[in-house]
Amino acid sequence: MNTYTETIGNKLNDLLEKTYDAEKGFKKAAENTENNYLKGFFERKAKQRYTFGHELKTEIKSFGQDVEKGDSMTSKAHRTWMDIKAMFTSNSEEAMLEEAIRGEKAAVKEYKEVLNETALPPSTELLLKKQCNAIEVGFNTIKTLEDIRS
């Protein structure tokens, strides 16, 4: 019985694309802040997403699915918006944290939607739960940082 369907492969590829988008967004945020703590935090989040991407690629390949790598139009618009906000917002660090919160919320929602699939192989389910939990921890850290900066 093959529980790994093309639908799941497509959903994992969607997560992979958004994971790489998040990596690029965190890199951009790190470039746009002079606060050393925030810079380090955003750089760590970018590295985390890089690792997540490789884990997802390995999982997709292990079940014989094709790996797609792209850059979504939504993410390009999001990063451009972060650049514009950084240029024109008096408290650009707060704006970047707000954007990071929005992005992390969306990521958690996407992961949970895929996790609700009933046909996930155990290895896929375990990987997605691990990554989702790490994103939630980061999300809570970003919320704390935003509260401190407010």
Q: Over the stretch 42-90, which tens digit does the pLDDT of each residue have?
A: 999 999 999 999 999 999 988 888 887 665 555 556 555 555 555 545 4
Cβ neighbours of residue 60 closer than 8 Å, sequence gap 6 or more: 9, 12, 13, 16, 66, 67
pLDDT for res 7: 79
Q: Identity (one letter) of the amino acid at 13?
A: N
pLDDT for res 125: 94
pLDDT for res 95: 79
pLDDT for res 6: 79
Contact of 29 with 100, CB cutoff 8 Å: yes
Contact of 110 with 72, CB cutoff 8 Å: no
